[in-house]
Amino acid sequence: MKKGLLITVEGTDGAGKSTQIDFINKYFKKEGRQPIFIREPGSTAIGEKIRDILLDKKYDNMSYITEMMLYAAARAQLVEEIIRPSLEKGQVVICDRFLDSSIAYQGYGRQLGDVVVEVNRHAIQGIIPDLTILLDIPVEISRNRMMKNGCDSDRIEAQSINFHDKVVRGYRELARKFPDRIKKIEGNRTVEEVSREIERYLDELG
């Protein structure tokens, strides 16, 4: 049985995650594997309910601690219900966001610090991604892309530029701390250029 793999894709909204997730999915299918795609928060019945609450603008008075714990709760259910069983069966799991999102958005963006890691330690059950692709683009470009696509902003996307700047800095700090796992890729290039760089990292997984 082949080893299970957890591949996570991180970055701010508008960074091009969906396009590159599709590329990663096709890469593994060419290798004869059938990857499982999941997103955070979500991909379980409980997680999708939590997602609705987290992203709904009518809850703009949500405390930062509540926000952090709801993300962790959705993650705990996802790990228990899908990620752990899939990895144990030797499957490839591609996840749109994982723990690094909470560290960047709540740890750095909300400035909650190390408590985010401590709370999520229970949620992830010791599971660390085999590879994390971080698509890095400036906040201004991220915002422009989303406006071009005509996307209605959710509660998190609607936060201030200052908040999103902190998130980007948080992601970059994580990439500096964990260079073996987190591969920071400049997202402000053509889709093909970004995909080629991702492919090199996927090849290294063997």
pLDDT band at 149 (very low <50, low <70, confident <90, very high): low
| 76-90 confidence digits (pLDDT tens) | 999 999 999 999 999
Could you count the other beta carbons within 10 Å of the beta carbon of residue 1? 7
Distance of CA 57 to the CA centre of its chain: 21
Q: Which 8-state DSSP code applies to residue 58?
A: G
On whether the CB atoms of residues 78 and 43 are closer than 8 A, the answer is: yes
Among 63-72, 105-114, 126-135, 146-155, the range scoring the smallest mean pLDDT is 146-155
CATH architecture for the domain at 5-204: 3-Layer(aba) Sandwich (3.40)
On whether the CB atoms of residues 155 and 52 are closer than 8 A, the answer is: no
Please give the mean pLDDT across all residues of the chain: 95
pLDDT score, position 150? 59
pTM as predicted: 0.94
Q: Does residue 79 sit in helix, strand or coil? A: helix
pLDDT band at 160 (very low <50, low <70, confident <90, very high): confident
| Residue found under tokens 């970004």 | 194
| 82-114 confidence digits (pLDDT tens) | 999 999 999 999 999 999 999 999 999 999 999
Report the b/e string of 116-135 with b at 16+ CB within 10 A: beebbeebbeebebbbbbbb
pLDDT band at 142 (very low <50, low <70, confident <90, very high): confident
According to DSSP, the residues that pair with 185 across neighbouring strands are 135
pLDDT score, position 144? 74
| Residue found under tokens 């899939």 | 86
Among 11-15, 110-114, 165-169, the range scoring the smallest mean pLDDT is 11-15
Whether 120 has a pLDDT exceeding 70, the answer reads yes
pLDDT score, position 86? 99
- Cis omega (within 30 of 0) on the bond before 129? no
Whether 151 has a pLDDT exceeding 70, the answer reads no
pLDDT score, position 171? 98
110: nearest Cα among 146, 144, 62: 62
Mean pLDDT of 51-65: 96
| Residue found under tokens 């004869």 | 32
Whether 58 has a pLDDT exceeding 90, the answer reads yes
* Angstrom distances, CA of residue 9 to CA of 37, 59, 62, 143, 196: 11, 27, 26, 19, 15
On whether the CB atoms of residues 78 and 70 are closer than 8 A, the answer is: no
